[in-house]
Chain A
Amino acid sequence: MAERKLLPRDNDEGSLLSKLGTDSPKPRVKFGGMFCNVEGAFENKTLNFDSYNSIQTEPRPSGMGLIFVPHCSVSSLCLQADRLIIKGGKVVNDDQSFYADIYVEDGIIKQIGENLIVPGGVKTVDAYGHMVIPGGIDVNTSLQAPQLGMCPADDFYHGTRAALAGGTTMIIDHVVPEPGASLLGAYDQWRDLGDRRSCCDYSLHMDITRWHDGLFEELESLVKDKGVNSFLIFMSYKDKFQSSDSQMYEMFSIIRDLGAIAQVHAENGDIIDEEQKRLLELGITGPEGHVLCHPEEVETEAVYRAITIAKQANCPLYITKVMSKSAADVIAKARKKGMVVYGEPITASLGTDGSHHWSKNWAKAAAFVMSPPINPDPSTPEYLSSLLSCGDLQVTASGNSTFSTAQKAVGKDNFTLIPEGTNGIEERLAVVWEKAVATGKMDENEFVAVTSTNAAKLFNLYPRKGRIAVGSDADIVIWNPKETRTLSATTHTLTVEINIFEGMEVRGAPVVVISQGKIVLEDGKLDVTEGSGRFVPRKAYPDYVYKRIKARSRMADARGVPRGNYDGPVHDVISMTKSVPATPTSRMPQFPGKGPLGPARNLHQSGFTLSGTQIDDHIPRRSAQRIVAPPGGRTNITTLS
């Protein structure tokens, strides 16, 4: 508890002190079956603590609200503000808006309607004139992913705190294991950090930083037992995280079989690597070099390639961080052709452009460094928000991964060493509102879809998250579309010194944020509890994604042509005229495992062999009929097996 940050808490210090040491390592009740929220949603699972109400503080019932946490002493006044009624707001879901009151209990929405009958003493939240929307889901954060051994300046605690301040009530963070390290180990580490530090519900994507055969079991166990249904593959970061096309094909096939979603960091790492070398040779070392060596086409190319591979493997694809117009176009086009592919623009690509990389202020320029880079074309944000509005792009995220200026300065003489990542977790909803809703590109329902519902559907959190409905989690934002703010590093919740949206004026702001049924933001005051965030497991085979994939799997059986055996003359092949490397003969049915430090490419034996042991070929693969007296040199159609 000692390391715990003191929150700007306005109510009594006494209760704060009294809790010291009481709730520190929360024994987390891991709920056996995954995702049983809705079915159990209508049972009243908490003890009745009516008498303690009116003081709204932490801690929430841990786990899935199973039982009262034993060590939570009475003095800490647990479980109080669990009952809430939100009155008079306009409830906005992705499909419709309507006026209703919402009654929340135990972190779950219990009733929606007018003139609700609720127990006495319930706290009332006034939402007149505001919109009541499902809390945002930020599907791409890297709050704990270290770069060059440095952890981001804003970790799970600061990050989720900022998220809540901006109206995001759930994040999905990326687990980035060291290349070669165990995925499960990294997962446990992230879980541990998340459970201890997160202030809002969270879930985890798993990044596959190096592929080898042994990972299959880990993936399977992550999907089946650990509630992970999405895996990110890097096409970039050569010699570090990058996967080859063959590896991607294999991973996509496995991901499809497991019912998960393949995510891709889409940039051509090979080209980037070469360009980086070239630019450094030219003497360009500043942050502008980062943009120059990550040109837009390199992103587009990788998106195109990922889509091609996913199409072959019949795997649903999710492109993280859509940063450029042409990449978005490729996604839009692929969707028109029927591909199951989703695109995720992020706050930075929707809200600002990359011209700042050329800023004379090194620190400012460096703050914009991320991959794929923020596009220098100033019309990009407009274009991406249009595509987001018309449904060509579906989900918004932040890609939040912040490093302080001192950390970024590691790359002050070499832009390739600048740790990558920008802020955006807090600004996301406001930026989308400003760029898309305030300008009339989308309505409030679409706003909810792109900030919350679509993400929930894609990643199988729906309808627990992403919807205001009876039985859903009480992650609710009361949104004031009229409020105007100016984004600035001086007022933001994160700890980094520079905000890439500095000075941007946005309309729309959260007035009240409710997470797990508790008010975390009200009257401009943030009241979060470190460690109160729950891990939300996600099941495989999200309907929204896999219905089509399944149907296509059934259709896609390729069939051979039944022919008689060819029994004409066969040319003799001199074996090994083309001396081909050792690979060809063994056409392994499975990709052979990775050698100890093996050269990464040989793992996947080619299906194309030139070694000429064609004598065996006479041993018929289909040993059906053979012609008794084959007519000499003529080719023929014989029996049709």
Chain B
Amino acid sequence: MSGQGYQGKKNIPRITSDRLLIKGAKIVNDDQSFCADIYMEDGHIKQIGENLIVPGGVKTIDAHGRMLMPGGIDVHTRFQMPDRGMTSVDDFYQGTRAALAGGTTMIIDHVVPEPGASLLSAFEQWREWADSKSCCDYSLHVDITEWHKGVQEEMEALVKDHGVNSFLVYLAYKDVFQLTDSQVYEVFSVIRDLGAIAQVHAENGDIVAEEQRRILEQGISGPEGHVLSRPEEVEAEAVNRSVTVANQTNCPLYITKVMSKSAADVIAQARKKGTVVYGEPITASLGTDGSHYWSKNWAKAAAFITSPPLSPDPTTPDYLNSLLSCGDLQVTGSAHCTFNTAQRAVGKDDFTLIPEGTNGTEERMSLIWDKCVVTGKMDENQFVAVTSTNAAKIFNLYPRKGRIAVGSDADLVLWDPDVTKIISAKSHNSNQEYNIFEGLEVRGAPLVVISQGKIILEEGSLHTTEGCGRFIGRKPFSDYVYKRIKARSRLAELRGVPRGLYDGPVCEVSVTPKTMTPASSAKTSPAKQAAAGGQPVRNLHQSGFSLSGAQIDDNLPRRNTQRIVAPPGGRANITSLG
């Protein structure tokens, strides 16, 4: 499996420091911890064990019994994210640098095609940006911002040829990205057939739009309006709805950015009922709360703007950490998407214009260690699971990523559980002026970070190489997710009841009793229709529900098997079982 997906030019660096020996480490995987030495070469782990026989002159790190874990995988970043002509201040270089500084050795970024633009060209664009700038391995999710037949073909191409196995749909951002339930249903069906994973930005965009209008009308224009217009229930509702649609389509579901207790509860409950659904709390929701939206300092309040918003309930982080520890939530991301204050100030008189996103890629590992492991909610193995292994499994990177094993990529973190640091905008690696965790004291930090077999962080100094990150293609039908889905698909065959033909009297339906105006058939997604250059988005999929009353044809039997010779008058009957 090694060597898969090496994308051309990234193979160049063949420097001598490619060989590395770590001695006396306590190796922590998601299932067990053990003490061993580890030898890596060419970016791969070659040997694990004691008394390894290694070539001479190898650089050796003495771990002194410290924990060595698989590097973190940040499954949700939005580096270099364009928003109305602005670009988020952390591009792929700055962003991945921050990630590496925090112990994360791989990110999965979101490609956001503009509505109307091609998915493939957006994907290429992101590839280009990331290949030239990324300092660590990366992969890409693709967001579905509109829905029509062409999108389906592009999705197929992305899955089959470009190593994308996850697509995000938006239930929010009305009239911009939002899809209707029917569209979501169709997208999910396509995703399941392709073997990919459906991700959902879960907020009810209709309600949010109405609330925004109401709150602006009340004269509330500051950042607190953002959280007031996006109450917790709106998130929980959308999560519930997407779980329902996913159940119907038998599609694996992944909820990005779980920000509130009730949304997490909905996920936990759905999992209890057997739905294949995963929840991703982010650094922000695990580490801080939304009370800062009411800060008198506009710039500070605006820095917390993200969607779904941070819950103002101060007990939320603790609750989400508990659910993360008990397995009800599985993966952590950062949703790192930063804008500086001047950019945010675009919305200084109207909170709906404030660009959204918070930092967190650098802080993610330390914060979870501090909130979960130090407090005793989880052990170090679970820590590895939620920061790395689960993500690798879900997105089909395992065991190349997310595990310390012979043959796996040499993305490793030597973790120091005792060090204490204070998070601050002054010392962080992001370009943003504000850090939403400002002043938070966390225990646990990476001591050494190794990415692709090279030491990136050592003794507090960061040595990153712009553009050395490789794109990691991900195959569809990830075992971890699709085993159950496949079994259910086999079981879910629906069967009709074999009955004789009904041959009693049939009431005549007058033709066109309900005159359906043409408008009503366009009711589902007219916004999109009007929008996307007149592509008739919805009509492609003809409704199966017809009201025109041409029932004369109905007598032509669909299954023209047996007909009763002498039907007994007005009685409904059981006749031959076809």
The 0/1 profile, CB within 8 Å of A marked 1, for residues 110-145 of chain B is 000011100000000000000000000000000000
Across the interface, do A583 and B527 meet the contact criterion of CB distance under 8 Å?
A: yes
Chain A min CB distance to B345 (Å): 4
Compute how far the CA of A284 lies from the CA of B234 in the bound complex, rounded to whole angstroms. Answer: 36
Cβ-neighbour of A578 out of B84, B219, B543 (below 8 A): B84
B22 contacts partner chain A, Cβ-Cβ < 8 Å: no
Cβ-neighbour of A566 out of B345, B506, B559 (below 8 A): B345
Give chain B residues whose Cβ lies under 8 Å from the Cβ of A5.
none
Say whether chain A's binding surface is mostly helix, strand, loop, or mixed: loop
What total count of A-B pairs have CB within 8 Å?
372
Across the interface, do B345 and A579 meet the contact criterion of CB distance under 8 Å?
A: no
Task: Report A560-593 residues with CB < 8 Å from chain B CB.
Answer: 560-566, 568-575, 577-584, 587, 589
Q: A270-B181, A362-B572, A580-B175 are in contact. Are A289 and B213 (CB under 8 A)?
A: no
The 0/1 profile, CB within 8 Å of A marked 1, for residues 505-543 of chain B is 111011001111111111111111111100000000111
B455 contacts partner chain A, Cβ-Cβ < 8 Å: no
Across the interface, do A148 and B496 meet the contact criterion of CB distance under 8 Å?
A: no
Q: Which of B231, B495, B502, B546 has the most chain A CB atoms inside 10 A of its CB? A: B502
Chain A min CB distance to B288 (Å): 18
B211 contacts partner chain A, Cβ-Cβ < 8 Å: yes
B176 contacts partner chain A, Cβ-Cβ < 8 Å: yes
Task: Report B275-299 residues with CB < 8 Å from chain A CB.
Answer: 294-299
Cβ-neighbour of A635 out of B189, B218, B298 (below 8 A): B298
Cβ-neighbour of A298 out of B85, B86, B244, B340 (below 8 A): B244
Q: A277-B543, A289-B496 are in contact. Are A570 and B527 (CB under 8 A)?
A: no
Among A81-89, A407-415, A518-526, A541-549, the stretch in contact with B: A407-415
Q: A250-B210, A270-B182, A305-B237 are in contact. Are A238 and B497 (CB under 8 A)?
A: no
Give chain B residues whose Cβ lies under 8 Å from the Cβ of A610.
84, 176
User: Interface on A for B, CB 8 Å cutoff?
Assistant: 146, 148-150, 178-180, 210, 238-240, 242, 244-246, 248-250, 268, 270-271, 273-277, 279-286, 288-289, 292, 295, 297-298, 300-301, 304-305, 308-309, 311-312, 358-365, 404-407, 409-410, 412-414, 416-417, 557-566, 568-575, 577-584, 587, 589, 597-602, 604-610, 612, 614, 617, 620-622, 633, 635-637, 640
Across the interface, do B176 and A312 meet the contact criterion of CB distance under 8 Å?
A: no
B151 contacts partner chain A, Cβ-Cβ < 8 Å: no
Q: In this complex, what residue of A is CB-closest to B180?
A: A270
Across the interface, do A361 and B574 meet the contact criterion of CB distance under 8 Å?
A: yes
Across the interface, do A271 and B248 meet the contact criterion of CB distance under 8 Å?
A: yes
Give chain A residues whose Cβ lies under 8 Å from the Cβ of B229.
607
Give chain B residues whose Cβ lies under 8 Å from the Cβ of A582.
530-531
A-B pairs with beta carbons under 8 Å apart, 22 shown:
A148-B547, A238-B524, A239-B545, A268-B181, A273-B182, A274-B185, A297-B247, A305-B241, A360-B577, A558-B228, A560-B225, A568-B299, A572-B85, A577-B84, A598-B519, A601-B524, A605-B175, A606-B174, A606-B209, A607-B211, A607-B352, A640-B296
B439 contacts partner chain A, Cβ-Cβ < 8 Å: no
Give chain B residues whose Cβ lies under 8 Å from the Cβ of A587.
213, 216
Compute how far the CA of A289 lies from the CA of B504 in the bound complex, rounded to whole angstroms. Answer: 20
Across the interface, do A312 and B509 meet the contact criterion of CB distance under 8 Å?
A: no
Chain A min CB distance to B240 (Å): 5
Instruction: State the 9 A-B residue pairs at the shortest beta-carbon distance, nearest first.
Output: A149-B513, A599-B526, A363-B572, A574-B85, A581-B531, A245-B206, A270-B181, A635-B299, A607-B212
Across the interface, do B342 and A409 meet the contact criterion of CB distance under 8 Å?
A: no
Compute how far the CA of A559 lies from the CA of B219 in the bound complex, rounded to whole angstroms. Answer: 9
Across the interface, do A409 and B506 meet the contact criterion of CB distance under 8 Å?
A: yes
Across the interface, do B244 and A608 meet the contact criterion of CB distance under 8 Å?
A: no
Across the interface, do A276 and B544 meet the contact criterion of CB distance under 8 Å?
A: yes
B348 contacts partner chain A, Cβ-Cβ < 8 Å: yes
Across the interface, do B84 and A309 meet the contact criterion of CB distance under 8 Å?
A: no
Across the interface, do A406 and B558 meet the contact criterion of CB distance under 8 Å?
A: no
Q: A570-B348, A589-B217 are in contact. Are A276 and B545 (CB under 8 A)?
A: yes
Give chain B residues whose Cβ lies under 8 Å from the Cβ of A602.
526-527, 530
Across the interface, do B241 and A304 meet the contact criterion of CB distance under 8 Å?
A: yes
The 0/1 profile, CB within 8 Å of A marked 1, for residues 163-187 of chain B is 0000000000111100011101110
